[in-house]
Structure 1
Amino acid sequence: MTGPDSAGPAPRFDILLPYYGDVAQMKDAVHSVLAQSGEDWRLTVVDDGQEPSVPGWFDELADPRVRYFRNERNLGVTGNFNRCLELATGEYLVMMGCDDLMHPNYLDVVRRAVDAHAGVGMVQPGVKVIDSAGEPTDTLADSVKRKLYAPKEPGPSLLGGEELAASLLRGNWLYFPSICWRSDAVKPIGFRADLGVIQDLALVMDLLVAGEQLALEPEVCFSYRRHAESESSAKAFTGARFAEARRFFLETADRLDGLGWSQAAKAARHHFSTRLHALTLVPAALRLGHRDGARTLAGFALGPARRA
């Protein structure tokens, strides 16, 4: 560990950076956090990799606002998310992507939201999407999010309950790494260990069922990095992640039916946007010779929404 002792006073905002991967992009992410205003925040980096130069870089950084931890063993994505939650002691937390960027106004926007909506569970600020080179981009996924699923209100707003649950289950328009969360709402729930891809939406559903609300602040203050899906990766076309998604959506539909949230349950059961995503991968799977994967993807996309 490097940085200030964890026994010191808790910040208002814990910015958590679960790290694995590109060193240069991680450094850019850290510098973007260090550009934030105020003295009510702390950055905690939890390193789940083995890059030899990283611990020394944080030693040289020697910034009292930064804590650095390296896991003794690889915990994986969800495990490292939960390790970050364990280390958070502030009133609010952000689980930032290690290749994303905060704009200098990020905490100003978030402070405005939590001050305007005391006790709000989540804040979704305005986001700009960038590509692997850091240039602005507008992918099909982001265009669909913006045009079909995201709320059309031009100003700040407060959302929650079945209406928000149904909206997100039709198409998850949130940008998870940019969200600010109220710590005492999130920490008791955590991230489900049985989910490796859709754990962020699962957390949001748990919070909405518990009565939490989401504040929207449209001012852009965060850059979310969207990497192109690698066509050389067979894993992208096995359909395994869609099997996980189907299980989550059908479990969620049953749960919401039990609560009387019939519209949200219907949205979960049909999960159109996820099925459409699977369908868009079929041509590339066939082109690259992944015929079994193509059949799996097509079955997910075009098969019955309900359990057999």
Structure 2
Amino acid sequence: MSRFEILLPYYGDVALMQDAVRSVLAQDGDDWRLTVVDDGREPDVPGWFESLGDDRVRYFRNDENLGVTGNFNRCVELAEYEYLTLMGCDDLMHPNYLRVVREAVERFPAATMVQPGVRVIGSDGEPFDTLVDRTKRKLYAPKGAGRELLAGEELAVSLLRGNWLYFPSICWRTESIRKFGFRADLGVIQDLALVIDLLVDGASLAVASEECFSYRRHAESESSAKAYTGARFGEAKRFFVETADRLGAHGWAQAARVSRLHLSSRLHALTLLPGAAKHAGRPGVNAMLRHAVR
């Protein structure tokens, strides 16, 4: 019986998408299915999927462009199995991805989410270690024995200090993610918003350290483009302030304070000032300075 729905919301580079699909097809077992939801209009894509001739693969093309968040929600609507992964269309699963996830859900059957070990790669597919990723790894990610299952305010505080998760690599319990979905008013930080929704609802996160997924970073990504104009940080500020109010009312006073401060987001804005000056000029620089100094 199939348990894992691997969802690929697709838009953009055809070759990278095809590499992502091939990495999924290399998974072992017969308990999974790949569902691709195409939000673009590249002419040869439908024919390529038809040529695969693989009944483990479903392909859909949206009648109209839904955008990032809209396509995420469309993918979740189509999921039918117990667990799902919303993989990035330029990321890669290692052959051991599903084995690592299976072992995690067997060890922690009540867990809502599984964060496996991740390798960060650049546009060329080679390892790519950025300041953001070093900070996630060294400052924000929990360390030490007994940190394999996390939940509640402790996890909310950790993620609001600095979101150390790699969203496209996470395996989610389908019924839980469908309960909330992705907020239509958020275009970049919607993954953290969903996790906070789940934590307030009582969810838990299993952490598996074995590396089994390659997450691709490159400057032309949606989040990077919005960062240089300051749009990402306007959205982030609104989210953190709203979340502080919500968590305070929920009784999570420490998490509320951390969200209101959102220090890592403000520091990140400062690190991008040179790029903003180059790519967006004074408007981008001013927007990020406003975010950084509150």
TM-score normalized by the length of structure 2: 0.96
Give the residue type in structure 2 aligned to 1:53.
D
Say which of 7, 11, 14 aligns to 1:20: 11
Distance 2:137 2:143 in 1: 9
Post-superposition offset of 1:118? 1.1
| Equivalent pair of 1:156/1:217 in contact (CA under 8 Å) | no
Question: Partner of 2:212 in structure 1?
Answer: 221
Distance 2:229 2:40 in 1: 25
Give the residue type in structure 2 aligned to 1:76.
G
| Equivalent pair of 2:8/2:88 in contact (CA under 8 Å) | yes
Question: Partner of 2:27 in structure 1?
Answer: 36
1:196-232 deviations in Å (ceiling 9; x for gaps): 00000000000000001000000000000011368xx
1:86-109 deviations in Å (ceiling 9; x for gaps): 000100000000000000000000
Post-superposition offset of 1:289? 6.5
Distance 2:87 2:226 in 1: 25
Q: What secondary structure does 1:126 align onto?
A: strand
Question: Partner of 1:54 in structure 2?
Answer: 45
Post-superposition offset of 1:153? 2.3
Percent sequence identity over matched residues?
A: 70
Distance 2:280 2:232 in 1: 19
Question: Partner of 1:5 in structure 2?
Answer: none
Give the residue type in structure 2 aligned to 1:177.
P
TM-score normalized by the length of structure 1: 0.92
Give the residue type in structure 1 aligned to 2:118.
V
Q: What secondary structure does 2:172 align onto?
A: strand
Post-superposition offset of 1:148? 0.6
| Equivalent pair of 1:19/1:45 in contact (CA under 8 Å) | yes
Measured at CA, do residues 229 and 270 of structure 1 come closer, stay the same or move farther in structure 2, by a change above 3 Å?
farther
Distance 1:254 1:282 in 2: 29
Q: What secondary structure does 1:26 align onto?
A: helix
Question: Partner of 1:280 in structure 2?
Answer: 271
Distance 2:262 2:186 in 1: 17
| Equivalent pair of 1:155/1:218 in contact (CA under 8 Å) | no
| Equivalent pair of 2:85/2:168 in contact (CA under 8 Å) | yes
| Equivalent pair of 1:234/1:290 in contact (CA under 8 Å) | no
RMSD: 1.5
Question: Partner of 1:258 in structure 2?
Answer: 249
Question: Partner of 1:100 in structure 2?
Answer: 91
Query: 5+ unaligned residues in a row in structure 2: which ranges?
Result: none
User: Is the aligned partner of 1:174 residue 2:185?
Assistant: no
1:129-160 deviations in Å (ceiling 9; x for gaps): 00000000100100010011001126761000
Alignment of 1:153-164 (within 5 A): 153=144, 157-164=148-155
Query: 5+ unaligned residues in a row in structure 1: which ranges?
Result: 1-9, 304-308
Alignment of 1:45-124 (within 5 A): 45-124=36-115
Measured at CA, do residues 130 and 23 of structure 1 come closer, stay the same or move farther in structure 2, by a change above 3 Å?
same
| Equivalent pair of 2:9/2:72 in contact (CA under 8 Å) | yes
